[in-house]
Structure 1
Amino acid sequence: MGELLLNTPKRNQLLKDGPPVPTRCQILGRGAYGTVFKAIYRDCAVAVKIIRAHAASTLHNESHLLNLEHRNIVRLLKLESAVQFGLVIMECPRGQCLQRIVDTLALPLMHRVLITLDVVAALRYCHSQNVLHLDVKPTNILVALGIKSSGVGNFSKVKRSYICKLCDFGSSIEMGEYCARQDPINANGTLRYMSPEALRLDSLSEASDIYSLGITMWQLQARRLPYHMLDCNETIAYQVVKHELRPDNYHQLKILALDSPSNSDWNFVNGNNADVTYRKANTSARRNLNLDPSYTAGRDLKKKHRRNRLALHFDSPAPEPSACLENAYSKLYKSCWVSAPQSRLSSFQLKHELELILCRSNKIV
């Protein structure tokens, strides 16, 4: 219903004219350099990202997917480019991005661990192929639903009906490749998840992806967007690099939010009403994702049905985890976001510690 048909004539038209006038059912997502649509390619349901030609580096970065084949990575089927636009055609499993799931459900610890293990597996494979993703965040993790998956490694008693796939390689680079980032505020990637070395425009490594994963792990637990009290990316970048600000430092975030120009009368004194619109547009960057009544007014029934459908995939057979296990999870993500890259957990260490939590939470001998 409403999918783009990606036969040769249609692809040539898209490469020349760009995205069609979208309908609501067609669009899967929007990014800084393009829009992702539902589509049909060779009789299969796919996703197609239509990228503007001036974002040639994004197309180059997406091409890193051509040599990657892993169960936890969205598969690239075809990449085409022309003078005006480029097309990235990818598999499109049935499911939702992790951000929408976090918006809807409070995930049990067991599933937060399983999701993180999937992403760790994807990153370990990318790194083994000399590719850094550099934009790990919940909106770039697709949760494919209805897929029977039994266990992680030797944990055969842990069962689930989903698998997570890392997607959107538009910010990826090959290890050792020069990364032309002149300004971290406008760089590829998402500033609120970027490591201090990325913000300083230093050389990047596997540890840069681990940092972003640590921020994502925190978000799965806290159900808030990173630095949700702050609107100003420049402030966030400065505080992360110079003062080691992290999203769990609520006291410091509150102080910074009170000192922020967006919370003063400066714009009104200067007659600038645009800031009012800006703050309204960025309410989602600060809101608590715990589905408070004011946010769900008028949408309760629809959201309840969606929540109930999703909850079927994220039931936990284990009892509620102890505070000790939650603290162990918190300790892990904090070990991923320390400032010095060499002091962060490696992907191997992170995998091992996550499996220990999984073992303890399910009392697997």
Structure 2
Amino acid sequence: MEKSSDGFVRADQIDLKSLDEQLEKHLSRAWTMEKNKKKQPDSDSTTAEAATRQRQEWEIDPSKLIIKGVLARGTFGTVHRGVYDGQDVAVKLLDWGEEGHRTDAEIASLRAAFTQEVAVWHKLDHPNVTKFIGATMGSSGLNIQTENGQIGMPNNICCVVVEYLPGGALKSYLIKNRRRKLAFKVVVQMALDLSRGLSYLHSQKIVHRDVKTENMLLDKTRTVKIADFGVARVEASNPSDMTGETGTLGYMAPEVLNGSPYNRKCDVYSFGICLWEMYCCDMPYPDLSFSEVTSAVVRQNLRPEIPRCCPGSLANVMKRCWDANPDKRPEMDEVVSMLEAIDTSKGGGMIPLDQNQGCLCFRKYRGP
């Protein structure tokens, strides 16, 4: 891969197929050595296998993994709670279906996506990014330890192991507080957590591309951490190299919805929607279909309605982040600075004393 003068890596120069082939060869060698060791165990075989495994920084030892109950289910797999080497973890198992039920192209695409997520995630280190522990790509002979004994992993299954965050998804937390709302200082603190995490990703030339409250997790102290790098990309130096409708309805920037070239500023737009969602504890455009949202956001500049009692300092951040023109949106490090400058010492205090205090949803003592 070649880097441009500004340090950005072109996404189309990441040879995922080659990387995937290297991983497959590595796992094949490891499996062959395991079979040979069973036939004729000796120290040389053990040493050779250990040396092979050390070539992949991110590869876990499945024998140290214990999988427990299911936390969530998705299209291609499940997220389980587990323990890895004595540490509480979340285990993302990707099940691509039984062999023969998917085309080679589909399997290749899914394997490439898995490899991509691992390649992006394992290098990240920030307090507002979920800690990546390791992963393994399914191969014959790999077993997972469960509380009911060992189970074999089919060739199709891969797993990603990350730190376990007991607070669950930010989306669920907001839903729980939909009626009471959150205290202003809590909103700003959560917004700071998310903005700092995104600022770090952008400093690493990574565009998340699916920033939404469902992909943000909370630890036991209510710190927000970014998760799910399934569609993350190393940012291309040429914006025209990054196109396609990637993301989630309601959070996608106009340029993404329109199929136009985009860059990291699509994450800034999505952050603006998340900020509104954290303040209002509500969903954007709950009554509109995909086509209606797409048309209105792109052609009519539709955005969520900001309550009149929202402090101007916070409303300004929202508006700047979801500007229709990506070039006018601030960088995430500037967003961090704007949020740090907001005074939360006076609590909620969102409605001036000389105005009608009838907006009870956003009263001074709202939220925990």
TM-score of the alignment, normalized to the shorter chain, above 0.5: yes
Asked if the contact 2:275–2:318 (Cα under 8 Å) also holds between the matched residues in 1, the reply is: yes
Asked if the contact 1:49–1:87 (Cα under 8 Å) also holds between the matched residues in 2, the reply is: yes
Aligned residue number for residue 358 of structure 1: 343
In 1, Cα distance between equivalents of 2:264 and 2:63:
41
Asked if the contact 1:110–1:361 (Cα under 8 Å) also holds between the matched residues in 2, the reply is: no
Q: How does 1:38-117 map to 2 (within 5 A)?
A: 38-53=81-96, 54=107, 55-63=110-118, 64-82=120-138, 83-105=155-177, 106-117=181-192
Aligned residue number for residue 251 of structure 2: 193
Asked if the contact 2:64–2:85 (Cα under 8 Å) also holds between the matched residues in 1, the reply is: no
In 1, Cα distance between equivalents of 2:285 and 2:70:
28
In 2, Cα distance between equivalents of 1:137 and 1:120:
12
More displaced, 327-336 or 50-59? Answer: 50-59
Out of 289, 292, 297, the position equivalent to 1:240 is 297
Q: How does 1:134-173 map to 2 (within 5 A)?
A: 134-146=209-221, 162-173=222-233
- Post-superposition CA distance 1:117-174 (Å, at most 9, x none): 111111111111111111111111111124xxxxxxxxxxxxxxx3211111111000
Asked if the contact 2:182–2:281 (Cα under 8 Å) also holds between the matched residues in 1, the reply is: no
The Cα of 1:345 is off from its aligned counterpart by 2.1
In 2, Cα distance between equivalents of 1:335 and 1:119:
16
**Corresponding letter in the other structure for 2:318:** Y
The Cα of 1:176 is off from its aligned counterpart by 0.6
Q: Percent identity?
A: 27
Aligned residue number for residue 206 of structure 2: 131
Out of 330, 349, 355, the position equivalent to 2:315 is 330
Asked if the contact 1:77–1:90 (Cα under 8 Å) also holds between the matched residues in 2, the reply is: yes
**Quick one: structure 1 residues 33 and 191, their matched pair in 2 at CA, closer, same or farther if it must change by over 3 Å?**
farther
The Cα of 1:80 is off from its aligned counterpart by 1.6
**Corresponding letter in the other structure for 2:294:** A
The Cα of 1:203 is off from its aligned counterpart by 2.6
The Cα of 1:329 is off from its aligned counterpart by 1.2
Out of 340, 349, 358, the position equivalent to 2:334 is 349
Out of 263, 271, 289, the position equivalent to 1:205 is 263
Asked if the contact 1:113–1:358 (Cα under 8 Å) also holds between the matched residues in 2, the reply is: no
The Cα of 1:201 is off from its aligned counterpart by 2.4
**Corresponding letter in the other structure for 2:84:** Y
**Quick one: structure 1 residues 130 and 361, their matched pair in 2 at CA, closer, same or farther if it must change by over 3 Å?**
farther
In 1, Cα distance between equivalents of 2:94 and 2:223:
27
Asked if the contact 2:243–2:261 (Cα under 8 Å) also holds between the matched residues in 1, the reply is: no
**Quick one: structure 1 residues 180 and 332, their matched pair in 2 at CA, closer, same or farther if it must change by over 3 Å?**
closer
**Quick one: structure 1 residues 97 and 329, their matched pair in 2 at CA, closer, same or farther if it must change by over 3 Å?**
same
The Cα of 1:234 is off from its aligned counterpart by 2.3
Structure 1, unaligned runs of 5 or more: 1-5, 15-19, 147-161, 251-321
Q: How does 1:240-319 map to 2 (within 5 A)?
A: 240-248=297-305
In 2, Cα distance between equivalents of 1:145 and 1:81:
30
Aligned residue number for residue 271 of structure 1: none
- Post-superposition CA distance 1:280-321 (Å, at most 9, x none): xxxxxxxxxxxxxxxxxxxxxxxxxxxxxxxxxxxxxxxxxx
Asked if the contact 1:136–1:193 (Cα under 8 Å) also holds between the matched residues in 2, the reply is: yes
**Quick one: structure 1 residues 107 and 346, their matched pair in 2 at CA, closer, same or farther if it must change by over 3 Å?**
same
SS of equivalent residue, structure 1 residue 358? coil
The Cα of 1:362 is off from its aligned counterpart by 6.5
**Corresponding letter in the other structure for 1:124:** S
The Cα of 1:347 is off from its aligned counterpart by 1.4
Asked if the contact 1:27–1:35 (Cα under 8 Å) also holds between the matched residues in 2, the reply is: yes
Q: How does 1:17-28 map to 2 (within 5 A)?
A: 26-28=69-71
Question: Given the two structures, how large is their TM-score scaled by the length of structure 1?
Answer: 0.63
The Cα of 1:68 is off from its aligned counterpart by 0.3
Asked if the contact 1:218–1:333 (Cα under 8 Å) also holds between the matched residues in 2, the reply is: yes
SS of equivalent residue, structure 1 residue 67? coil
Aligned residue number for residue 288 of structure 1: none
SS of equivalent residue, structure 2 residue 129? coil
The Cα of 1:175 is off from its aligned counterpart by 0.5
- Post-superposition CA distance 1:227-265 (Å, at most 9, x none): 1012x2122122211222122289xxxxxxxxxxxxxxx
| Structure of larger gyration radius | 2
Structure 2, unaligned runs of 5 or more: 1-59, 97-106, 139-154, 349-368
More displaced, 168-177 or 107-116? Answer: 168-177
SS of equivalent residue, structure 2 residue 117? helix
SS of equivalent residue, structure 2 residue 71? strand
Select the structure that is richer in helix. 1
SS of equivalent residue, structure 2 residue 219? strand
**Corresponding letter in the other structure for 2:169:** C
SS of equivalent residue, structure 2 residue 210? coil
Q: Does 1:220 align with 2:278?
A: yes
**Quick one: structure 1 residues 52 and 351, their matched pair in 2 at CA, closer, same or farther if it must change by over 3 Å?**
same
Asked if the contact 2:89–2:161 (Cα under 8 Å) also holds between the matched residues in 1, the reply is: yes
**Quick one: structure 1 residues 180 and 340, their matched pair in 2 at CA, closer, same or farther if it must change by over 3 Å?**
closer
Aligned residue number for residue 311 of structure 1: none
The Cα of 1:216 is off from its aligned counterpart by 0.6
Aligned residue number for residue 34 of structure 1: 77
Asked if the contact 1:192–1:236 (Cα under 8 Å) also holds between the matched residues in 2, the reply is: yes
